[in-house]
Structure 1
Amino acid sequence: MEELLGLLRIHVNRGVNLAVRNVRTSDPYIIFGMGNQSLKTEVIDRDVNPVWDEDLTLSIRDLEMPIQLTVYDCDRFSSRFNMDDEMGDAEFDINTFIEDLRMDYTDFPDGTILAKQQPSRQNCLAEASTVILREGKDLQTFASD
């Protein structure tokens, strides 16, 4: 078994203008995966602008292992087939955060952009994702349309 290198806390804030998968709305939830770990947020009923405000924690055992994020629509009527609709996905590396931990940001002002991830076929981001310094901590934001 690989050695535990640390823990990564993920704060899931909200979704904005998510895809409609059930006539007029969706019942979204997010699954975060890293290696054999999988974490799921709460299902938010009938909302394409959901607010989760949840904290999830991943165990980091391999710095090269990317984190996958997949947004699903919970399809309650086809639960016998277990076929929730995928609404979107993204993948990100934790190396940016590890590099940032090694930096001394005491003289940097709050709100400093530390890194940007541009949309590509590999990450399926709708817009650039930024890593921002907030109250001495790295905060990565994802936008989705």
Structure 2
Amino acid sequence: MNPLGALKITVKRGIDLIVCDTFSSDPYVVITMGRQKLKTRVIKKNCNPEWNDVLTLSVVDPNLPIKLTVFDKDTFTEDDRMGEAVIDIEPYLECLQLGLQDLPIGTAVKKVQPNDHNCLADESKVIWTGKGKMVQEMVLKLQKVERGKIQIQLEWLDLPGGGGLLSS
């Protein structure tokens, strides 16, 4: 099956992540969608890491869940889980399919509120960046852990010769 496009996920930073080792953690993020698995680099001894790593998923089925998991890198034992979140791309894809043109750059096309179906910590906005492009900034509240958030940004990339999200 041909990919519909690619989803560029910029993993910006972690906020108030839990301490897994004696005083700190060595966090990294793993993003999975179907069989794809992408990783950020490890940031040593930091519970508020700044990654700004760009990970790109090939999207064949936009209904597949995208899972983000934070781990603490350990040298001699299995890496510790520091929480997880599901990235809900449905509101973002809905905005892309509106076929908007020529909005002022920086216009909020949609505001998404935190609810039981997403892991948002705060309101998330889909922002028009011009030339048919939009990004969505989001802060995800990590699940199955006492605290911690991850800030990410989504951007859709059409692939040359790809099926295209908008043509379906």
TM-score range, shorter chain: 0.7 to 0.9
Residues 2-57 of structure 1 show CA distances to partners (whole Å, capped at 9, x for unaligned) of 22111111111111111110111000000000000000000111011111111110
1:76 Cα deviation from its structure 2 partner: 1.3
Gaps of 5+ in 1: none
Q: Does 1:7 align with 2:10?
A: no
Percent of aligned pairs sharing the same letter: 36
Which has the larger displacement, 12-21 or 130-139? Answer: 130-139
Gaps of 5+ in 2: 142-147, 149-168
List aligned pairs for 1:77-92, cutoff 5 A.
77-78=76-77, 83-92=78-87
In structure 2, how many angstroms separate the alpha carbons of the residues matched to 1:36 and 1:117? 29
Structure-2 residue corresponding to 1:36? 35
**Residue aligned with 1:99, SS:** helix
In structure 2, how many angstroms separate the alpha carbons of the residues matched to 1:119 and 1:28? 26
Amino acid at match of 1:114: K
Q: Does 1:67 align with 2:66?
A: yes
Q: Does 1:17 align with 2:16?
A: yes
Structure-2 residue corresponding to 1:141? 138
> Could you tell me which of 102, 107, 110 is aligned with 2:103?
107
Using structure 2 for the length normalisation, give the TM-score: 0.72
Q: Does 1:94 align with 2:89?
A: yes
1:119 Cα deviation from its structure 2 partner: 4.8
Structure-1 residue corresponding to 2:53? 54
Structure with more contact order per residue of length (Cα contacts < 8 Å, sep ≥ 6)? 2
In structure 2, how many angstroms separate the alpha carbons of the residues matched to 1:19 and 1:46? 11
Amino acid at match of 2:136: L
Q: Give runs of ≥4 in structure 1 deviating > 6 Å.
A: none
In structure 2, how many angstroms separate the alpha carbons of the residues matched to 1:5 and 1:15? 30
In structure 2, how many angstroms separate the alpha carbons of the residues matched to 1:97 and 1:111? 14
**Residue aligned with 2:42, SS:** coil
Q: How many pairs align?
A: 138
